[in-house]
């Protein structure tokens, strides 16, 4: 059951020196491929990094998070930027109508970087993480990195931006599960507070 898997999920930062088979990598990619996306645009590319030199380079670009070097597999979740004229800004303007003018004023490249589309890569990443776990592989998300340097290292085209990196591997040490808030703390039913905003 999926909750059994989620109950044992935790981030790890020390991986065994053991490769992940291409069969399992393909299952992980398949789990990502099946993700939902707005308008079924699937605005992403999955960069599969198994080359040790490149993994080391990405660890350095990720502000020297040296634990990343122990991972045998990084998947770089890249967002393919949706062109403005295909509705990129109108999505945000309809979500935040009070800021229509300000949204129009954001410079094009910066807007692309901040665009909502970027966050959609969290969905295939989550699918991948759970599928990996089903195969005994743990993972840790990385968002603390210099986006433009990663883009350069992976030779991405300009419309393709690295959103997140996930480091996968077999755990070397004992697992440590973190405390999570209770359902009561995290949930509200219907209205959050009684008074109107
Ligand atoms: C979007 C995202 C970005 C993250 N970025 C980093 C990171 O750059 N470096 C890191 O060591 N951990 C990173 N983490 C891992 C979190 O620190 C970790 O998920 C959190 O402490 C909860 O622990 P758990 O995953 O074991 O439940 C990130 C997690 C998420 C979801």
Structural domain boundaries in the chain: 2-186
Question: What is d(CA 161, CA 147) in angstroms, rounded to the nearest whole number?
Answer: 7
Whether the CB-CB separation of 113 and 107 falls below 8 Å is answered with no
Q: Where are the alpha helices (DSSP H) in the chain?
A: 2-8, 22-33, 52-61, 88-95, 100-105, 108-114, 122-134, 147-153, 183-186
67 alpha carbon, distance to own chain's centre: 18
- Output the pLDDT for position 195: 86
- Taken as a whole, the chain contains a residue count of 197
For residue 33, the CA-to-ligand 1 centroid distance in Å is: 22
Q: What percent of the chain has pLDDT over 90?
A: 79
Tell me the β-bridge partners of 73: 168
The mean per-residue pLDDT over the stretch 19-24 comes to 98
Instruction: Read off the pLDDT of residues 106-155 as tens digits, 9 standing for 90 and up.
Output: 988 888 777 766 679 999 999 999 999 999 999 999 999 999 999 999 99
CATH number among 3.40.109.10, 3.90.950.10, 3.40.50.2300, 3.30.200.210, domain 2-186: 3.40.109.10
Locate 25 and state its tokens: 């990598």
Q: Which residue has the higher pLDDT, 1 or 146?
A: 146
Condensed to tens digits (0 to 9), the pLDDT of residues 37-70 reads 988 989 999 999 999 999 999 999 999 999 999 9
Determine whether the shortest distance from the Cβ of 66 to ligand 1 is under 6 A.
Answer: no
CA separation for the pair 94, 74 (Å, rounded) = 35
pTM listed for this prediction: 0.92
pLDDT greater than 80 at residue 84: no
Q: In what order do the strands lie in the sheet with 138-142?
A: 44-49, 73-80, 160-169, 138-142
Nearest C-alpha to atom 30 of ligand 1 is from which residue?
141
Q: Is the pLDDT of residue 85 over 60?
A: no
| Atom from ligand 1 closest to the CA of residue 144 | 8
The residue to mutate among 5, 126, 142, having the most atoms of ligand 1 within 8 angstroms of its beta carbon, is: 142
Name the residue with the closest Cα to ligand 1, atom 23.
11
**Is the pLDDT at 165 greater than 60, yes or no?**
yes
Beta pairing, strands 44-49 & 138-142? unpaired
Separation of CA 11 and ligand 1 centre (Å): 7
Rounded percentage of the chain residues whose pLDDT exceeds 70? 95
């Amino acid at each position: 059951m999926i909750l059994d898997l989620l109950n044992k999920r935790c981030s790890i930062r020390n991986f065994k020196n053991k490769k992940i088979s291409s069969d399992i990598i393909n299952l992980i990619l398949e789990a990502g491929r099946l993700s939902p996306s707005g308008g079924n645009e699937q605005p992403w590319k999955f960069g599969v990094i198994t080359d040790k030199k490149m993994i080391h380079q990405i660890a350095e670009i990720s502000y020297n998070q040296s634990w990343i070097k122990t991972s045998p597999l990084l998947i770089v979740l890249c967002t393919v930027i949706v062109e403005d004229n295909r509705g990129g800004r109108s999505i945000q303007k309809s979500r935040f109508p009070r800021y229509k003018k300000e949204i129009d004023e954001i410079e094009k490249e910066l807007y692309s970087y901040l665009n909502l589309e970027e966050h959609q890569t969290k969905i295939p990443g989550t699918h991948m993480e759970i599928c990996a776990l089903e195969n005994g592989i743990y993972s840790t998300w990385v968002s603390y990195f210099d986006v433009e340097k990663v883009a350069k290292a992976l030779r991405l085209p300009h419309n393709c931006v690295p959103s997140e990196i996930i480091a996968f591997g077999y755990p070397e040490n004992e697992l440590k599960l973190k405390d999570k808030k209770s359902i009561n703390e995290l949930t509200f039913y219907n209205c959050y507070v009684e008074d109107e905003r």
